[in-house]
Structure 1
Amino acid sequence: MILAVCFTNFGPYHLARLRALAARVRERGGCLIAYEVAGNERLYPWRRRRGDEPFEWITLFPDRDLESIPPGECARAMLRALDRDEPDALGIVGYARPESMAAARWARRNRAAAVLMSETQAADHPRVWWKEMVKRRRVRLFGSALVGGPPHRDYLVSLGMPAGRIAMGYNAVDNDFYARLADDWRERPGGRDGLPAAPYFLSVCRFAPEKNLVRLVEAFARYREAAPRDAAWDLVLCGDGPQADAVSRAVDASGCGHAIHRPGFLQADGLARWYAFASAFVLPSLSEPWGLVVNEAAAAGLPLLVSDRVGAGATLVPEPEGTTGARFDPLDVEAIAHKLAWLASLPDDERLAMGRRAAGVVAAWGPDRFARGTLEAVELAMRRGRPSPQPEIGPLKTATRRDGLALVPGAASPFRSPPPAAGEG
């Protein structure tokens, strides 16, 4: 049995997920093919080491940036790869990119199991009826889905995917990596050298309008104005992006620029040092399908302050307030300032306990949860039965598939995953 998954470009968290998934697939006697569209992506300039992996790593355009590849080329390259490799099941990210739709239609033509991997929630953007209608038609191409959490499941249900065919666990990072590096930095003599001496709030994101950093800076200035001078925290903004100049202007106007630090875009190993010594993590986004940096911060043991638009919030920042942190209205500068002041005023032992609970919560949503969720979704797609072509989606050709394991209802599946641990779902 061959399972194939495609991402646009592999970053550290993609590789962590794929390694865990490959191990689970191998246990069942199958193999994993992992496609990435391009070897580079300007939006996220990750550095990664390509060594021996437990999956077959195929880059469709190894020497090109993702942003430079026309949609038609992406789709054709995906189809060539699938015609060559003939997977039995596919994990397909989203329903917008050209290679994703090409893969979904290939699965329909070749009667393979198609799993939609999605992190979209209703709150991400204003919804337009005709666009939602197009999405509903595209969702019909998939036999099941893997999503991040409850808001993402609910949105897919609104598009016509039955709730019983949706598994969870899509959004995962290498929790052990961030926990281990953070602990190493904390224990290292001089590990904090060059970092702010004061306690600090840490935010990690692209400097883009939807990340809402200008309001965060304004809220931080209000917090500093009211905080006791000898107990005021600093703010660290890690990242870079198109709104860097606007953030700089906001910092200059805040009156507390000396307490705001901007180390720039950092790779994962360098970022772990800032997580290690932060006193709390803040993500103020106006739109955030999930927010993997929340996973990273939780794994490093930080209490969490997140916008109520952040998709990870329902899972990683549960009620009641104070369990792992708190959520806030990202449009309300005063509310953000209030949460900053609230967290900074807590005794150290309460904040540390909050961070330990955050680490405990995110531990249940790591790479292995992604692997088990993916295999659960594959199983659900197989139980649905072998799909038939749907002409209304677009012109499709009938293809003869190679002999292999039949994807029929009730058939024994080498992908059968163990039941989820208590408390998951």
Structure 2
Amino acid sequence: MQNTHRPVIAFVWDNFGPMHVDRCEAVAATGAKMIGVELFGTSPTYGWDAPAALFRKMTLYPEKPASRSTWVTAWRIWRTCRRERATHVFLSHYEMPAIFLAVVLMRLSDMKVYTMACSKFDDSRRHIGRELGKRLFMLPYNGAIAAGKRSQDYLRWLGIKRVEPGYNTLSLARVREQGASDPAPSGTPSADRHFTVIARLIKKKNLFVTLEAYAAYRRMTAHPKKLCICGSGPLEADLREKVNSMGLQTEVVFDGFLQSPDIAKRLGSTLALLLLSTEEQFGNVVIEAQAIGVPVIVSDRCGARDELVRSGYNGFVVEPDNPEGAAFFMKLLAEDEALWSTFAERSLAGSARGDSAAFAAAVTSLVGAA
């Protein structure tokens, strides 16, 4: 029988990385009774170290099985939440059949269920039949937590009436502590900073165009700054070959995949973050950059720009197929120290919009209205 007294909140993700722990701990800090449920002990996509959690967390598959039944996974998700007497369950990956089946079982068990998503209508070419099918997947949900405005609009189009913002958030305090330096414009002098890319080395991150933008920037200035690329992925060899063909071996540094503390330290010496993706549901690294005062140059496909980036105010927004435009903005920030300092101050001042407290507020609003 459902607990009619204090709500018990469960959060379900495929794997808990630093950002998920941040969000859950922000909810726990409100005094809410909550648990975390992850499907796998390691991420199928990211190589992050599993952070220690200050809340109770359970793993359904500590070691990823060679094969798993959709029905069994759905049953295990439902059974775990049921055993823990969860009254409100927040789940990501609404498109997964196992998640959908688990959500149906939860609704039949009188639980309230909510999806967490950052997808936008403009992420890719949409087909009306497939989109209408997604609306069926949304029928069981009582509400949702979304990212920026485009994400909220998309979830409403899919049929969810109550949508709260605040999904893509991080602990700003954690990022600043890990950065181990004063936020910009303090800390490392602008003259000693470099441009940085932090991304998986995959097609949608648009890294070959980013290299073209960097090469164009170098042609515009007598004293160009270096570019650091942090990340790993299947395109690394091709990107290195491209850098070599451009004669930029000593100017473009490949740092490989970095854990959260190293990302924060790298951003502490960064002049501006580059994120020129052709598809980017959000871009959590924008929050990390702004947490320590680093301006950003992002593509208009980046979901984070909806809430966090004001072009010409605390960063710049450019089309993903416009390397010359990105190069122009890079030159501005690199050569106008007063402009860079102003953007850095504004980035830092507005960074609270990306803090995990916003996620906790969304959860509190949805649970309170149920």
Whether TM-score is above 0.5 comes out as: yes
2:204 aligns with 210
2:75 aligns with 76
Q: Look up the equivalent residue of 1:57 and give its one-letter code.
A: K
2:41 aligns with 39
2:317 to 322, 327, 330: 327
Compute the displacement of 1:309 (Å). 0.3
1:55-94 to structure 2, matched below 5 A, reads 55-64=55-64, 69=68, 71-94=70-93
Contact 1:236 1:262 in 2 (8 A): yes
Distance 2:323 2:342 in 1: 27
Residues 1:356 and 2:345 aligned together: yes
2:360 aligns with 371
Structure 1: 4+ residue segments shifted above 6 A = none
Q: Look up the equivalent residue of 2:214 and give its one-letter code.
A: F
Listed one character per residue, the Cα deviations across residues 71-124 of structure 1 (whole Å, up to 9, x for unaligned) are 444323212213322311111113112442133212321222111111011111
Count of residues paired in the alignment: 361
Q: Look up the equivalent residue of 1:345 and give its one-letter code.
A: E
TM-score by length of 1: 0.80
Give the secondary-structure state (helix, strand or coil) at the position aligned to 1:184.
coil
Q: Look up the equivalent residue of 1:213 and give its one-letter code.
A: L
Compute the displacement of 1:298 (Å). 0.7
Compute the displacement of 1:243 (Å). 1.1
Compute the displacement of 1:42 (Å). 4.0
Instruction: Assess, with a 3 A threshold, how the Cα gap between structure 1 residues 91 and 268 changes in structure 2: closer, same or farther.
Output: same
Distance 2:85 2:177 in 1: 39
Distance 2:119 2:44 in 1: 22
2:163 aligns with 166
Coordinate RMSD, CA, aligned: 2.2
My pick for the range that moved more, 290-299 or 113-122, is: 113-122
Give the secondary-structure state (helix, strand or coil) at the position aligned to 1:64.
coil
Compute the displacement of 1:313 (Å). 0.6
Q: Look up the equivalent residue of 2:204 and give its one-letter code.
A: E
2:106 aligns with 107
Listed one character per residue, the Cα deviations across residues 227-274 of structure 1 (whole Å, up to 9, x for unaligned) are 11xx21111110010111221122112222311111110111112211
Which structure 2 residue ranges, 5 or more long, are not aligned?
1-6
Distance 1:96 1:106 in 2: 16
Residues 1:179 and 2:169 aligned together: no
Which structure 1 residue ranges, 5 or more long, are not aligned?
383-425
Listed one character per residue, the Cα deviations across residues 201-252 of structure 1 (whole Å, up to 9, x for unaligned) are 1110000000000110011111112211xx2111111001011122112211
Listed one character per residue, the Cα deviations across residues 140-197 of structure 1 (whole Å, up to 9, x for unaligned) are 21111111121111111221223xx11111111121122233353789xxx98xxx98
My pick for the range that moved more, 39-48 or 209-218, is: 39-48
Give the secondary-structure state (helix, strand or coil) at the position aligned to 2:46.
coil
Give the secondary-structure state (helix, strand or coil) at the position aligned to 1:310.
coil
Residues 1:287 and 2:286 aligned together: no
Give the secondary-structure state (helix, strand or coil) at the position aligned to 1:63.
coil
TM-score by length of 2: 0.91
Identity %: 28
Give the secondary-structure state (helix, strand or coil) at the position aligned to 1:4.
strand
Contact 1:221 1:255 in 2 (8 A): no
Compute the displacement of 1:326 (Å). 0.7
Distance 2:259 2:359 in 1: 23
Contact 1:303 1:352 in 2 (8 A): no
